[in-house]
């Protein structure tokens, strides 16, 4: 494939995506996501903003060590300290990218940076060449690009390329542009910047007007060859362009957009589920490509047409994005070997023997309770084993009894293992979940805000497993816990405990000052 026809996919789920309020991810989760992204075929992974906090630094550094094909990238403002920190986090990788940015719109230069256009111009020379001395893969972004004067943008882009940037990113920071305008911006840069052939132009579109994907594709049709995007479109405010949507649009309308991405589209569904699980952000049912209903045909006329010829109402197959027909997979007589094979077919190739053994035990218990076990059940069960049985957990649920129903106040009796010591409590509450959460608070006193409590049935039927997501917040830090069980109340207790265990780890790892600084950095 000639580079000219290739559109590079730059994922920023773990940087811009993580800037969605409440979407914080732990180090382990980021590593898990990175492995899937690497397999997915993402070209460049923006792993974080290393100066923002020790946690961000550690994550970028760890991710840069696990990627096999994708190029790791870190974000840095125009500051030598930022760029050095970015370099320190990435330097272990054989190839890495430093992405440095500064605002170029009159509004941002005056009110945010308090700098003149000349000062910003000088800063480009100084900081892009500084980054270029540390790596030959430098990306430069003109923040608020779509509200920047075009002549000034051309001058700054020319200088950034002259100073060593190989990728020039044009952010629609506030999601303000429309496809026709964005087309003109890219065309103007291609026509007016004398050294533009020495760089790749990139799009970075936010979704405030619901146009992020349309604007990104318009940019590519005008000549951009990199799209910055996030899985499920998560990101600041209304989010970023959704990776799965831009990729499938290019693939499905290749007659109009004859470009290729290196994405293995059959992993899109897996990546979407993983990001949704980790962030606790549900994917809306009618979300293009990865929503639960994206391939469901309800109306009789459509179903009839589908039976005669799938092309009547299907522009891409569910299989092409990794959606498999729900299948009855296993029963209580299935053995270890079949279970392990199933895990591999579901994409869990590198689980440790401990995790497999544990999940197999849970599978047997589930098979006794539930008549039909589906792929989704196995996935929920393994994901649950990975979270609940994590050796780093301080708190483990030992037993739970709940008394619910009409008349009496709801009551929970609980035993927890906290640092190896068994403690018990009993609490009443405003509903069984409230009673359960009060027990946890009683046994391990803490002060967090519950931001989200959400229940999903994994499959159909009243014997379905429930996946519960809980997001808690403490001093501006958030964590998400998830757990699955056929008993929704057991899943609720485990999900809350999982969020709390993560918060305890986060507390230990992040100094409070740095966390405040992180907010300040992100707010610039
Ligand atoms: O939206 C934006 O402008 C950004 C830049 C840092 C690239 O995220
Ligand atoms: Zn952005």
Assess if residue 373 is contained within a domain: yes
Residue 202 lies in domain: 3-279
The pTM is what? 0.83
| Whether 56 and 100 share a structural domain | yes
Assess if residue 516 is contained within a domain: no
Residue at a domain's end among 279, 296, 319? 279
Residue at a domain's end among 223, 254, 279? 279
Rounded to 5°, angle at Cα 6 from 5 and 10: 150
Which residues 6+ apart lie within 8 Å of 57 measured at CB? 48, 50, 51, 85, 88, 89
Nearest to 231 by CA among 376, 22, 20, 385: 20
| Whether 398 and 374 share a structural domain | no
Assess if residue 176 is contained within a domain: yes
| Residue 158, phi then psi, degrees to nearest 5 | -60, -45
* Tokens (6 digits) for 447: 């002060």
Q: pLDDT digit string (tens) for 376-422?
A: 788 888 877 776 666 778 999 999 999 988 888 899 999 999 999 99
Pocket probe mutation, ligand 1, options 103, 153, 175, 204, max atoms within 8 Å of Cβ: 204
Evaluate whether 502 touches 26 at the Cβ level (below 8 Å).
Answer: yes
Which residues 6+ apart lie within 8 Å of 505 measured at CB? 26, 392
At 517 the pLDDT is 47
| Whether 205 and 193 share a structural domain | yes
Residues with CB under 6 A from ligand 1: 16, 101, 141, 143, 169, 171, 173, 204, 206
Q: CATH number of the domain at 31, please.
A: 3.20.20.70
**Cα dist from 251 to 105, 360, 375, 379, whole Å:** 34, 38, 27, 28
Pocket probe mutation, ligand 1, options 143, 226, 523, max atoms within 8 Å of Cβ: 143
- Residues of the chain below pLDDT 70: 1-4, 297-300, 303, 325-329, 387-390, 509-524
Across-strand partners of 142?
A: 102
* 206 Cα–ligand 2 center, Å: 6
Name the average pLDDT for the chain.
Answer: 90
| Whether 360 and 436 share a structural domain | no
* 141 Cα–ligand 2 center, Å: 10
| Whether 27 and 156 share a structural domain | yes
What's the total number of domains in the chain? 3
| Whether 379 and 403 share a structural domain | no
Assess if residue 404 is contained within a domain: yes
* 24 Cα–ligand 1 center, Å: 18
| Whether 18 and 132 share a structural domain | yes
228 Cα nearest atom in ligand 1: 7
At 516 the pLDDT is 46
Distance CA 317, CA 314 (A): 7
At 389 the pLDDT is 62
**Cα dist from 503 to 20, 201, 392, 419, whole Å:** 18, 40, 12, 15
174 Cα nearest atom in ligand 1: 1
Residue at a domain's end among 372, 387, 402? 387
Distance CA 429, CA 439 (A): 9
Assess if residue 470 is contained within a domain: yes
Assess if residue 320 is contained within a domain: no
| Whether 400 and 505 share a structural domain | yes
Q: What is the DSSP string of 349-385?
A: TT--HHHHHHHHHHHHHHHHH-S-EEHHHHHHHHHHH
Assess if residue 216 is contained within a domain: yes
**Cα dist from 199 to 196, 235, 428, whole Å:** 6, 26, 64
Q: CATH number of the domain at 506, please.
A: 3.30.160.270
HSE-up of residue 511 (Cα within 13 Å, Cβ side): 7
* 210 Cα–ligand 2 center, Å: 14
* 467 Cα–ligand 2 center, Å: 31
| Whether 368 and 396 share a structural domain | no
Assess if residue 317 is contained within a domain: no
| Whether 267 and 407 share a structural domain | no
C-beta atoms surrounding 375 within 10 Å: 19
Helices (H), 133-211: 150-162, 179-192
| Whether 236 and 151 share a structural domain | yes
| Whether 358 and 422 share a structural domain | no
Distance CA 388, CA 297 (A): 36
């Amino acid at each position: 494939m000639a580079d000219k026809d290739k559109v590079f996919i730059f994922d920023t789920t773990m940087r811009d995506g993580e800037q969605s309020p409440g979407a914080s991810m732990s180090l382990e989760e980021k590593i898990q996501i990175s492995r899937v992204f690497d397999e997915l075929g993402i070209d460049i992974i923006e792993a974080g903003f290393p100066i923002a906090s020790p946690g961000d630094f550690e994550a970028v550094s760890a991710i840069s060590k696990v990627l096999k094909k994708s190029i790791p990238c870190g974000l840095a403002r125009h500051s030598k300290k930022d760029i050095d920190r970015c370099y320190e986090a990435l330097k272990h990788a054989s190839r890495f990218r430093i992405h440095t940015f500064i605002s170029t719109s009159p509004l941002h230069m005056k009110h945010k940076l308090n700098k003149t256009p000349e000062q910003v111009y000088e800063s480009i020379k100084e900081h892009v060449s500084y980054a270029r001395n540390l790596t030959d893969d430098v990306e430069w972004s003109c923040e608020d690009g779509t509200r920047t004067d075009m002549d000034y943008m051309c001058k700054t882009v020319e200088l950034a390329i002259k100073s060593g940037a190989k990728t020039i990113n044009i952010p629609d920071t506030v999601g303000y542009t429309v496809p026709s305008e964005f087309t003109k911006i890219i065309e103007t840069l291609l026509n007016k910047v004398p050294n533009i052939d020495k760089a790749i132009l990139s799009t970075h579109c936010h979704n405030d007007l619901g146009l992020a994907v349309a604007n990104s594709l318009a940019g590519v049709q005008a000549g951009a060859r990199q799209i910055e995007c996030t899985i499920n479109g998560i990101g600041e405010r209304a989010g970023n362009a959704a990776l799965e949507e831009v990729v499938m649009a290019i693939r499905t309308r290749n007659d109009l957009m004859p470009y290729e991405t290196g994405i293995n589209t059959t992993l899109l569904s897996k990546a979407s589920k993983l990001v949704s699980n980790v962030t606790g952000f549900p994917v809306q049912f009618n979300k293009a490509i990865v929503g639960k209903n994206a391939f469901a045909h309800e109306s009789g006329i459509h179903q009839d047409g589908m039976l005669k010829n799938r092309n009547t109402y299907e522009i891409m197959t569910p299989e092409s994005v990794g959606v498999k027909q729900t299948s009855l997979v296993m029963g209580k007589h299935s053995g270890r070997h079949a279970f392990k094979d199933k895990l591999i077919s579901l994409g869990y190739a590198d689980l440790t023997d401990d995790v497999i053994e544990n999940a197999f035990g849970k599978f047997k218990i589930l098979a006794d309770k539930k008549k039909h076990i589906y792929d989704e059940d196995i996935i929920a069960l393994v994901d649950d084993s990975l979270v609940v049985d994590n050796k780093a957990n301080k708190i483990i649920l030992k037993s739970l009894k709940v008394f619910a129903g009409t008349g009496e106040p709801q009551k929970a009796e609980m035993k927890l293992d906290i640092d190896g010591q068994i403690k018990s409590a009993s609490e009443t509450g405003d509903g069984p979940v409230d009673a359960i959460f009060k027990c946890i608070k009683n046994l391990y006193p803490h002060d967090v805000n519950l931001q989200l409590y959400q229940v999903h049935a994994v499959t159909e039927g009243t014997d379905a497993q429930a996946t519960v997501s809980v997001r808690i917040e403490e001093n501006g830090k958030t964590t998400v816990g998830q757990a699955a069980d056929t008993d929704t109340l057991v899943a609720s207790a485990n999900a809350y405990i999982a969020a709390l265990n993560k918060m305890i780890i986060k507390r230990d790892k992040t100094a409070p000052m740095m966390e405040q600084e992180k907010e300040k950095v992100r707010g610039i």
